[in-house]
Amino acid sequence: MDTFETLSELTAAHGVSGDEGEIRTLIRTLAEPYADEITEDVMGNLIVHKRGDGSKVLFAAHMDSIGLVATNIDSDGFVRFATLGGFTVPDLIQQTFRFGNGTYALCCAREDKLLEAKRRDLYLDIGAKDEKEAKELVHIGDTAAYVSPLKQLTKNRISGCYLDNRIGCLALLQALEQIQNPANDLYFVFTVQEEVGTRGAKPAAFGIDPDYGIAVDVTCPDDVPGSEHDGTTYLGKGAAIKVLDRSVICSATLVRNLNELAKERNIPVQQDILSCGGTDAGPIRTTRGGVITGGISIPCRYTHSALELCDWNDLDACVRLITAFCEKEQPGV
């Protein structure tokens, strides 16, 4: 699959938490040529099974994104909204959004509050002349997502919206494409509702009951001006092997095994310690009687904004590490 074109499709697809239908359909189409079986659970998680004889291994990449949900339409046709997932006010002001039905919306702040705007001072302008026209375009409960096409900044670096976590989804899809001889029984799960509390991963892991679980997601790097050193990773230095974040302390054995595997295969890696945020690794780790759990992360600057930034080299290292883990028989639990 073409890396840039596929990631462009993934980041443009609508998939706000709880409204993941469009992105789920796209990923199913992309995964079908490499899957033995594809199912969908009650939560809406997409489960891609690639059969093998070894240990049962679950890889999870969340396909949902942060977004907005319409809560009120006033008499002048302006739309009020609530957020789904973590936003800051600066991330929202003067950004373009698109509702799932294709209606565009400009996020604006009251003029008298522009310099000190709070979340309650923001609204969506969809260009409607009045309430009647607005209600023909948007309904209460409709969700909206950023509009920011993927851009190639330099040879190795790209920017756009929803690299968190469509680049993680791409990593799983590319690994599926590259795996030649699976030594383990593989479940690639594209999870829902991660951005509103990692809600999809736990039922998915409970249903699959894996021996190993690895979350594939982005992580916040420590390589920008003014960094408060909440993270340990840098763009361009390779796949980030998760050690811990606020949601999980990863299996020390799995962390060591991933590092040893990377050394064997000459895959560039770094260690991912994050003092804020979490991933699907958290709920997977505590499912049933506990799962041997880790994470493989891709450093991403400016997460939850419309201009996230990643490095192709980190994606490549992530795909190589996932593929190597899948093709090496893991000991039974």
| Pair (166, 83) in one structural domain | no
In a domain, 239, yes or no: yes
The pLDDT, as a whole number, for residue 9 is: 98
The C-alpha atoms of residue 317 and residue 231 are separated, in whole angstroms, by: 19
- Across the beta sheet with 151-152, the strand order is 151-152, 157-160, 308-311
Q: For residue 194, indicate whether it is catalytic.
A: yes
pLDDT tens, per residue, the chain with 333 residues:
899 999 999 999 999 999 999 999 999 999 999 999 999 999 999 999 999 999 999 999 999 999 999 999 999 999 999 999 999 999 999 999 999 999 999 999 999 888 889 999 999 999 999 999 999 999 999 999 999 999 999 999 999 999 999 999 999 999 999 998 999 999 999 999 999 999 999 999 999 999 999 999 999 999 999 888 889 999 999 999 999 999 999 999 999 999 999 999 999 999 999 998 899 999 999 999 999 999 999 999 999 999 999 999 999 999 999 999 999 988 876
| Pair (195, 304) in one structural domain | yes
In a domain, 9, yes or no: yes
| Pair (181, 290) in one structural domain | yes
Domain count, the chain: 2
The beta-strand segments (E) located in the chain are 37-40, 46-50, 56-62, 67-73, 79-84, 96-99, 104-109, 122-125, 143-146, 151-152, 157-160, 185-191, 212-219, 239-244, 269-273, 292-299, 308-311
Helices (H), the chain: 3-12, 21-31, 89-92, 131-137, 163-178, 201-208, 252-264, 281-285, 312-327
Q: At what angle do helices 163-178 and 3-12 cross, to 10 degrees?
A: 140
Domain C-terminal end among 111, 146, 181? 146
For residues 193 and 201, the answer to whether their CB atoms sit within 8 Å is no
In a domain, 156, yes or no: no
In a domain, 151, yes or no: no
Reduced to 3 states, what is the DSSP secondary structure of residue 120?
helix
Beta bridge partners of 114: none
In a domain, 169, yes or no: yes
In a domain, 268, yes or no: yes
**pTM of the full predicted structure?**
0.97
Q: Which two tokens stand for residue 137?
A: 């375009």
| Pair (138, 179) in one structural domain | no
Domain C-terminal end among 112, 146, 180? 146
Among candidate residues 9, 40, 116, 194, the one labeled active-site is: 194
Residue-number span of the structural domain to which 312 is assigned: 3-65+161-327
| Pair (174, 232) in one structural domain | yes
| Pair (104, 244) in one structural domain | no
| Pair (76, 54) in one structural domain | no
CATH (domain of 241): 3.40.630.10
| Pair (91, 133) in one structural domain | yes
The C-alpha atoms of residue 274 and residue 233 are separated, in whole angstroms, by: 9
| Pair (132, 174) in one structural domain | no
| Pair (125, 231) in one structural domain | no
The pLDDT, as a whole number, for residue 333 is: 65
In a domain, 155, yes or no: no
| Pair (88, 129) in one structural domain | yes
In a domain, 259, yes or no: yes
Domain C-terminal end among 79, 114, 146? 146
CATH (domain of 100): 2.40.30.40
The pLDDT, as a whole number, for residue 331 is: 85
| Pair (87, 31) in one structural domain | no
